[in-house]
Amino acid sequence: MTVTLADVEAAAARLKGVAVETPLIESPALNERLGLRVLIKPETLQRVGAFKFRGAYNRLVQLTPDERRRGVVAFSSGNHAQGVALAARLLGIPALIVMPADAPAVKAEATKGYGAEVRFYDRLTESREKIAAEIAQERGATIVPAFDDPHIIAGQGTAGLELVRQAHALGASFDMVVSPTSGGGLTAGIATAVKALSPKTALWGVEPEGYDDTRASLEAGERRPMVPTRRTLCDALETPCPGELTFPILKAHLAGVAVISDAEAAAAVRYAFTTLKLVVEPGGAAALAALLAGKIEPPAGGTLGLVLSGGNVDPDLFARIVRGEI
């Protein structure tokens, strides 16, 4: 099943007045450093502090009355969890989120704060998919995937729809758009919208070292799951394989995928705070990290769209990064 521009536009209509239409912002300092015009899409300002609310609400608002009554189950390390929890609260739907016990405390507490029930699991010894499936079967609840769902992809794609239309309002068009990439929901959604409205725009994804499954899959021409051997500072991007639905979209539209280190992610978080005056989590700063580190060669003198996908960073970790301890 594919996702079309019409699906993204329909999602935008459902989200109108509910999700935040995040602005495009511009930094002269960043423009000067990179030698081009950069229009930044700060999804850190979205409800729940990340783009995930877009897809979650678009999925849940389409549930039938009976499905709403029986509730939803999701599994996530944090941002999708919060997106589903808030969307469920707004729509009066019971929600249970399966989260790893080592998820950032700020994300777990926020998820509970939105009214969702949280079930913690050990990511090394338990399967979140199995736990979620058992709970869903027991309750008759609907599982809400983090990325591999056409309604989720379409919802995330509204960020790309806004990106292009806001740029046009400024008299600009994009030579390139760069986005953090994990399971592929955001990047696939953005690609669907951007390529439909601006076919010549080059699209790049960015992944952390050790979780560069999309890069490996694109090189192989087929989905290649990875077996993670370590954690990454970019906890929001720790997905070991692109989705069945997202991968064909990524394969069709991405010009490439850059890979960043934890040190480069941390440097981008510091830059976002000190220069852009924005709080961005490491995974959310992945696209900025790739540009600052020279991992992507942007078009000289051109216009680039940059997505900062989330700002839900643990306060202690953030302080250590800003102090240069990481």
Architecture (CATH level 2) of domain 53-143:
3-Layer(aba) Sandwich (3.40)
Strands (E), the chain: 37-42, 72-75, 95-100, 117-121, 142-143, 176-180, 202-208, 254-260, 303-308
DSSP states along 252-313: HHEEEEEEE-HHHHHHHHHHHHHTS-----TGGGHHHHHHHTTSS-PPTT-EEEEEE-B---
Residue with tokens 């240069």: 324
Q: What's the CATH code, domain 5-50+149-322? A: 3.40.50.1100
Bridge partners, 100 (sequence order): 121
Buried b (16+ CB within 10 A) or exposed e, 253-267: bbeebbbbbbebbbb
Q: Rounded to 5 degrees, what are φ and ψ at 307?
A: -100, 120
Read off the amino acid at residue 13.
Answer: A
Tens place of pLDDT per residue across the chain (326 aa): 789 999 999 999 999 999 999 999 999 999 999 999 999 999 999 999 999 999 999 999 999 999 999 999 999 878 999 999 999 999 999 999 999 898 878 888 889 999 999 999 987 788 888 999 999 999 999 999 999 999 999 999 999 999 999 999 999 999 999 999 999 999 999 999 999 999 999 999 999 999 999 999 999 999 999 988 889 999 999 989 999 999 999 999 999 999 999 999 999 999 999 999 999 999 999 999 999 999 999 988 999 999 999 999 999 999 999 999 99
Alpha-carbon distance 37 to 304, whole Å?
Answer: 6
Contact at 8 Å (CB) between 253 and 161? Answer: no
Q: Is-catalytic flag, 309? A: yes
Q: What is the pLDDT of residues 280-299, one digit of tens each?
A: 999 999 999 999 999 999 98
pLDDT value of residue 253: 98
Q: What is the pLDDT of residues 115-167, one digit of tens each?
A: 999 999 987 788 888 999 999 999 999 999 999 999 999 999 999 999 999 99
Residue from 41, 52, 195, 295 carrying the catalytic annotation? 52
Q: Which of 81, 32, 305, 9 is nearest to 179 (CA)?
A: 305
Q: Is-catalytic flag, 52? A: yes
Residue from 77, 179, 217, 309 carrying the catalytic annotation? 309
pTM over 0.85: yes
Domain with CATH 3.40.50.1100 in the chain: 5-50+149-322, 53-143
